[in-house]
Amino acid sequence: MLPNVPGNLITGLCSGRGWVMPNEELGRVLEMPVSCPHCPKYSEQPVAFVINSEKLTCPDCKETIDLTTKEWVAFRQKFRDALNELQPLYKQLP
């Protein structure tokens, strides 16, 4: 568990909207904490938003978080590939 990160790193299949059904897109229901390099805060973001965005605004300090660094680009691509592989299996769940 990381400091200043509430809950698990990925908040599973229970989002703020409650439990979700397997026909929804995984990237839209899974959330992950994103650390702001400008302030010591994390914000929970939908995985689909993170992997499809180049930047986001920190809700606390309003600074821009750059998701185009080589580390973020590599992470976003791996996460996209993993979600693409898992989505068909997720849809088959009862």
| Cβ neighbours of 51 (radius 10 Å) | 21
User: What's the predicted TM-score (pTM) here?
Assistant: 0.69
Residue 7 lies in a domain: no
What does the alpha-carbon distance between residue 43 and residue 60 come to, in Å, rounded to a whole number?
Answer: 8
For residue 13, give the nearest of 53, 41, 51, 46 by alpha carbon. 46
| Cα dihedral 82, 86, 88, 92 in deg (nearest 10) | 180
Residue 4 lies in a domain: no
Q: What is the pLDDT of residue 94?
A: 80
Residue 2 lies in a domain: no
Q: Which domain holds residue 65?
A: 14-91
Each residue's pLDDT, cut to its tens digit, for the chain (94 residues) gives 333 444 444 434 444 444 444 556 888 888 999 999 999 899 999 999 999 999 999 999 999 999 999 999 999 999 999 999 998 888 888 8
Residue 47 lies in a domain: yes
Residue 5 lies in a domain: no
Residue 55 lies in a domain: yes
Q: What is the pLDDT of residue 3?
A: 39
Residue 3 lies in a domain: no
